Amino acid sequence: MGKITFILGGARSGKSKYALDLAGNLGGKVVFIATCQPKDAEMKKRINIHRNLRPSHWKTFEEPLDLRLPLKKIGSRFDIIIIDCLTLLVSNLILKGIKENKIKARFRKLVSMLTKTKAQTIIVSNEVGLGIVPQNKLARDFRDIAGRINQMIAAESDEIYFLISGIPWRIK
């Protein structure tokens, strides 16, 4: 069944590059699912940089709210699925007013789908629990929910890597 590799790290730790390199080294047909929503010029520029790092023959889906939608379209056509990144997805869901219990339910369904697919899945997420306690409630809620989702995904993952300054540490 579907193997899940979970890649965590801080901002600019090299998570996405590691995911791309890992997928490229595995060989096979790759699909990339991007969760970012380009809300301003700076974010659009970041998205373009990320797009340019991916091989042109990889298929890309952009889905900021419900990863089950592209996964249903993908079916069994790909050998490797990259999801980048969960923290942006959690942020998008919170900003849409979706409560934590519904977010958790979505991720449980997502994990169930991924473990049933024949493809290997590589999931990228930010480790959000290494900094100070945020000053405002929205930021604390985000940190708490993202941390719980990361724990959920980690529990179901076959491999976990934590990146520090571009160097992957195998955790599981």
DSSP secondary structure, 97-110, as one string: T--HHHHHHHHHHH
Name the pLDDT band for 55 (thresholds 50, 70, 90). confident
Residue percentage of the chain with pLDDT more than 90: 78
Higher-pLDDT residue of 29, 39: 29
Residues taking part in catalysis: 50
Range 9-36 average pLDDT: 94
CA distance 6 to 15: 10
* pLDDT single digits (tens) 85-125: 999 999 999 999 999 999 999 999 999 999 999 999 999 99
Contacts of 143 (CB under 8 A, 6+ apart): 128, 129, 134
Helix axes 86-95, 100-116, angle to 10 degrees: 140
Predicted confidence at residue 150, as pLDDT, reads 98
We report the CATH number of the domain holding residue 52 as 3.40.50.300
Residue-number span of the structural domain to which 81 is assigned: 4-170
Q: Count of domains in the chain?
A: 1
